[in-house]
Amino acid sequence: MDVEKLFKGEGGYVFVSHSHLDIETVRQVRNFLEERGLEPILFFLKSLDDAAAEKKQFLRTLIYDEINAREFFLYLDSPNAQKSKWVQEEIAYVTQNSPEKVYAIKLENGLEYLKKELEAFTKKMRVFISCAYSDGDIFTRLKEKLIKCDFRVYDADEKISANGNIFSARATIKDVSKEGMVIVLLTKNSIRSKFVYQEVKEAIFAGGNVLPVIIEEELSLEDMPPQWGFLLCDKQHLILKNSEDEEMEKIVEVLLEKRFK
């Protein structure tokens, strides 16, 4: 199942640090990511070779600004990249400021290794949000926040409306949960939804990653049904006061912290 094709081109920006001397392999990486709906950002600025110091600093600042603006940094490691002054400056900058962003792949390990590592990388960008249909406003706000952080956000309604197959939707949830994350928004509405319960159950029984989020203004712990408590008893969870942006930022922080773990 090619889950990435279901994301409709939202999010998925990746800063790719590479040597232009590896251009043939780099093109394969770019094509692989684009085929899965991601947006790789690659720089080769030939004008840097003979640029004056002032221009070099301007372009360096531009590159650093782009690194800061993206939450995923893919380093294509190779002997050429290790000798490249500009690539090593990028690596030094990102590891000093945001080392958690870096995902490194060694280009010289062969095509099969490269495809396997790239597939793992793309899966870690996936997020499935499980929630009640009547909590659509909360879902939309969270989805928009995660897309801005370059995650690939998916929900069951899109899959079901695409082919009418709820079993296919459940299979997708399991696939997303294995390397990415399933977020379940727990409210009075969602704990009454048999579809939300089944989605989360599918992910947990598949051994997937699940983050329960309890929104206190929508649900008190005392109102949590026993079957939900049993299902989520060993899962790290978040408790938010409400669904306002400041509280929802806590979900983003957890996902960013866990992205490559």
Q: Which domains are present in the chain?
A: 3-122 (3.40.50.450), 126-258 (3.40.50.10140)
Full-model pTM: 0.85
Q: Which residues pair with 127 in a beta bridge?
A: 153, 181
Q: How confident is the model at residue 155 (pLDDT cuts 50, 70, 90)?
A: low
> What is the identity of the amino acid at 69?
A
Q: What is the pLDDT of residue 160?
A: 41
Residue 64 tokens read as 């650093």
Q: How confident is the model at residue 236 (pLDDT cuts 50, 70, 90)?
A: confident
> What integer best gives the mean pLDDT of the chain?
86
CA 203/CA 235 separation, integer angstroms:
12
Whether residue 3 has pLDDT greater than 70 = no
CA 50/CA 154 separation, integer angstroms:
45
pLDDT single digits (tens) 75-112: 999 999 999 999 999 999 999 999 999 999 999 988 89
